[in-house]
Amino acid sequence: MPGNFACAAAPQIQRISLGSERRPLLVIDGLSAEPESLVEFAASAPPFRARGGDYYPGVRKPLPQAYAENLCETLDRVLREVFELPPGARAQPLLCALSIATTPPQQLRPIQRLPHFDTSDPNQLAVVHYLCPPQLGGTAFYRHRASGFEFIDSERLHGYAAQLKHQVMASPPAPGYLDGDSALFEQIACIEARFNRALIYRGNQLHSGNIDPHCGLSAAPRTGRLTATSFIRYSVPGTP
């Protein structure tokens, strides 16, 4: 089976502070030791498929757990330092998959037209590893105008969810992928895609794929917006 899931020994790492709440974002260039091998794995059998209950606007294919394990091992020190992870916490990959954006703009569900967060848990990290060229779109981060929130934790969750539901019911978002500022959200950062670049951020950060449908929504791994996506939760053994 094709695929080398090792990380480069010394990728280039840049730390950015997002928005007014100054939450950390890591931009890592040259993450994979052999990124072309990941593309070959993506193009091999089995095929990509849509996943029921998944809000991702496209199709996915599982990656071996070794991909996320290698990532955590290579970046362990910097992840613990930058994201202030609990002492003794261990990494648990919750998702490790290749993803390709394929959904036409007019078929997006309302929730897919808005910035989202993956979890309210501050110790769960999201990794987006681009295996595509810049024109297919990077990732943008947002502030909710009414609340000023740029991330959603357990204390903010209930009030934010109720407020956003009321806003969306009163004025549903127009069909299409989010592109910059909107009536409800202000874009605070936009990081472009670059082949073999990865972004790592807390999963409770408000974000959205910066997808340009005019550049194509091909389902072919070698021409589509191919990314490797991981959700990694850090928890201390014996705690919920």
Burial 136-175 (b: 16+ CB within 10 A, else e): bbbbbbbbbeeeebbbbeeebeeebeeebeebeeeeebee
pTM: 0.95
Domain boundary assignment for the chain: 12-235
d(CA 1, CA 18): 39
The domain 12-235 is placed in CATH, from the list 2.60.120, 1.10.1140, 2.20.70, 1.10.15, at 2.60.120
Cis preceding linkage at 172, omega within 30: no
User: Contact 198/130 with Cβ under 8 angstroms?
Assistant: yes
d(CA 57, CA 108): 7
- Here the tokens at position 208 are 């959205």
pLDDT of amino acid 73: 94
- The DSSP symbol for 212 reads -
* Residue-level pLDDT, tens digit, the chain, 240 residues: 466 899 999 999 999 999 999 999 999 999 999 999 999 999 999 999 998 778 999 999 999 999 999 999 999 999 999 999 999 999 999 999 999 999 999 999 999 999 999 999 999 999 999 999 999 999 999 999 999 999 999 999 999 999 999 999 999 999 999 999 999 999 999 999 999 999 999 999 999 999 999 998 999 999 999 999 999 999 998 776
Q: Would you report the helix, strand and coil content of the chain in percent, each value rounded to 5?
A: 25, 30, 45
pLDDT of amino acid 76: 95
d(CA 232, CA 68): 8
pLDDT of amino acid 3: 67
